[in-house]
Amino acid sequence: MSSSNGEPKLRIAIIGGGMGGLVLGLCLKKYAADTVHFDIYESAAELTEVGAGVGMSSRIWSIMRELDLEEELLTITGTRDRNGFPDFWLRKGDEKQPVDLLHFAQVHTFQRSILQQLLAKQLDAGDSIHFSKRLISYSEVSPTDPITLNFKDGTTATCDLVIGSDGIRSAVRRTMFSGLADEAESRGQREEAEKLRNMIDPIWSGEVAYRGLAPANTLSEELSAYVLAALPQILCGKNGNMVIYPVSGGKLITVLATKYTPGAGMVYDGLWSEPTTGEAVVKEFEGWDPRALGLIKAVQEPFAWALHAVRELPTYVKGRAALVGDAAHAMLPHQGAGVGQAFEDGYILATVLAHPSVTLANLPAALAVYDDVRRPFSQGVRKGSQRNGMNYQLRRMGWENVSAEDSRVGRYPRELLRVLGEEVGKQIEWLRSTSILGEREGVVERLAALSA
């Protein structure tokens, strides 16, 4: 509802124009165009999603359909396949001859940069996004005064609500949890204060992921035949896994190969991401299916990423600030769910903010509904992604007792293969069998009670 003078009921600052921030903006545009005004502040000088692929499950596809993006997305997948999501194979791949474990319908796949450009285009990016604006901190001095945003370039801006979609090293999370810790300290709760301060920095998982795209037209005949016969697929192995699938109608092959170092600490000494070479990556996966290694070698400009995650946060909201996406729950990529969870946060938060019963006065109560719905769900996904990584990397379900050498030469009880396939099948079932649309209805019902 706009006020009697035609002003929007809320002025929102979205910090970060990654895919999470863009979808939040699109949802606000769709559900609350007349009642809220939003600005996106992005630290980069332009939108810069790196290459590589991203998957979209049926949960997320339904949000894209709501945003009227289905047709355009089908065009860029190149498949025109509206209902039939491509089937993935799960295989044990750290042997010369891979072993089939599970076949599952899963996701539409995209090249990340193309998906990001499509989202930005819908948003009239030129109007809504302010580039080269790195947030340092925000201050909310009272429940009624505007929030002040402080940027690295020395400028400030104001808003009624600040949303942190600024990724894994979120400045909004830093301000929010420093504030919560200070408040705990002023109540004399020193241990609680320390716990809250610990939530600010992400922790290393012990894993490094190598990621990039291989152009299909550079592959040998043998590798091209392998791509057609075997992909998309996930290869499991001792202390490592690979996810390999085509994007852009098969013109490019995405390779994500992850290596776990047993006993690694929670702090990574080195750059979080840096260029690497195919030869260096192949060395990490000695003895794996040689055709998968051939695809790794064909990747152009591979990058290494030390995989970090955010600890389990006790809240995503404080006063008139909220966290979405990686800022709230950066997770390991082992269910391909990080982007989707960011989209879901944006979709539900926009539903909350667009609701007629939500005003500046009851904003903290409305944000509590967002927190109550999204935090348990996304934390469940975050934990599931960690567990699934351990499945893929043969670190649980009996596989922890099998050495790398035994795994490579096939010296393990066959029963473990069945157990692994079933476990992964159970773990990822939620992607297929649950719906975000039902969750949205529940949120709308709860918001109606706000005004009652």
Ligand X SMILES: Cc1cc2nc3c(=O)[nH]c(=O)nc-3n(C[C@H](O)[C@H](O)[C@H](O)COP(=O)(O)OP(=O)(O)OC[C@H]3O[C@@H](n4cnc5c(N)ncnc54)[C@H](O)[C@@H]3O)c2cc1C
Among 381, 245, 243, CA closest to 325: 381
Among 172, 201, 192, 49, CA closest to 111: 49
User: How near is the Cβ of 339 to ligand X at its closest, in Å?
Assistant: 3
Dist. CA 295–CA 301, nearest whole Å:
13
If the CB atoms of residues 18 and 246 are measured against ligand X, the closer one turns out to be 18
By CB under 6 A, tell whether 25 contacts ligand X: no
By CB under 6 A, tell whether 166 contacts ligand X: yes
If the CB atoms of residues 224 and 434 are measured against ligand X, the closer one turns out to be 434
Dist. CA 243–CA 364, nearest whole Å:
41
Among 10, 13, 14, 19, contact with ligand X (rule: CB under 6 A): 19
By CB under 6 A, tell whether 246 contacts ligand X: no
- Strands 233-237 and 240-247 come out as antiparallel
By CB under 6 A, tell whether 164 contacts ligand X: no
Among 8, 29, 30, 43, contact with ligand X (rule: CB under 6 A): 43
Contact map string, positions 132 to 151, toward ligand X, x by CB under 6 A? -xxx----------------
Residue nearest to ligand X (CB): 18
Q: Which of positions 197-216 make contact with ligand X (CB under 6 A)?
A: 209, 211
By CB under 6 A, tell whether 284 contacts ligand X: no
Report the interhelical angle of 436-451 vs 338-354 (nearest 10°): 30
Contact map string, positions 63 to 102, toward ligand X, x by CB under 6 A? ----------------------------------------
> Is the CB of residue 353 less than 8 Å from the CB of residue 366?
yes
If the CB atoms of residues 125 and 339 are measured against ligand X, the closer one turns out to be 339
Count H helices and E strands in the chain, helices first: 16, 19
Q: Where are the extended beta strands (E) located within 75-202?
A: 87-92, 99-105, 108-111, 129-130, 135-139, 147-151, 156-159, 161-164
Helix (H) or strand (E) holding 54: strand 53-56
Question: 201: buried, middle or exposed (CB in 10 Å: 19+, 13-18, 0-12)?
Answer: middle
If the CB atoms of residues 131 and 439 are measured against ligand X, the closer one turns out to be 131
By CB under 6 A, tell whether 342 contacts ligand X: yes
Among 165, 239, 248, 388, contact with ligand X (rule: CB under 6 A): 165
Among 12, 36, 38, 42, contact with ligand X (rule: CB under 6 A): 42
Question: 288: buried, middle or exposed (CB in 10 Å: 19+, 13-18, 0-12)?
Answer: buried
User: How near is the Cβ of 416 to ligand X at its closest, in Å?
Assistant: 26
Contact map string, positions 297 to 316, toward ligand X, x by CB under 6 A? --------x-----------
User: How near is the Cβ of 447 to ligand X at its closest, in Å?
Assistant: 24
Among 220, 307, 221, CA closest to 256: 307
Dist. CA 345–CA 338, nearest whole Å:
11
Among 13, 14, 21, 299, contact with ligand X (rule: CB under 6 A): 21
Dist. CA 248–CA 78, nearest whole Å:
6
If the CB atoms of residues 184 and 327 are measured against ligand X, the closer one turns out to be 327
If the CB atoms of residues 54 and 90 are measured against ligand X, the closer one turns out to be 54
User: How near is the Cβ of 293 to ligand X at its closest, in Å?
Assistant: 19
If the CB atoms of residues 18 and 98 are measured against ligand X, the closer one turns out to be 18
Among 117, 110, 159, CA closest to 19: 117
By CB under 6 A, tell whether 292 contacts ligand X: no
If the CB atoms of residues 24 and 193 are measured against ligand X, the closer one turns out to be 24
Among 167, 212, 232, 246, contact with ligand X (rule: CB under 6 A): 167
Among 391, 20, 54, CA closest to 232: 54
User: How near is the Cβ of 409 to ligand X at its closest, in Å?
Assistant: 30
Among 160, 158, 163, CA closest to 143: 160
User: How near is the Cβ of 103 to ligand X at its closest, in Å?
Assistant: 19
Give Cα separations from 44 to 123, 129, 152 (angstroms).
17, 11, 12
Render 294-306 in DSSP notation, one character per residue.
HHHHH-EEEEEEE
Residues near ligand X (CB under 6 A): 15-21, 41-44, 54-55, 133-135, 165-167, 171, 209, 211, 256, 305, 325-326, 333, 336-340, 342
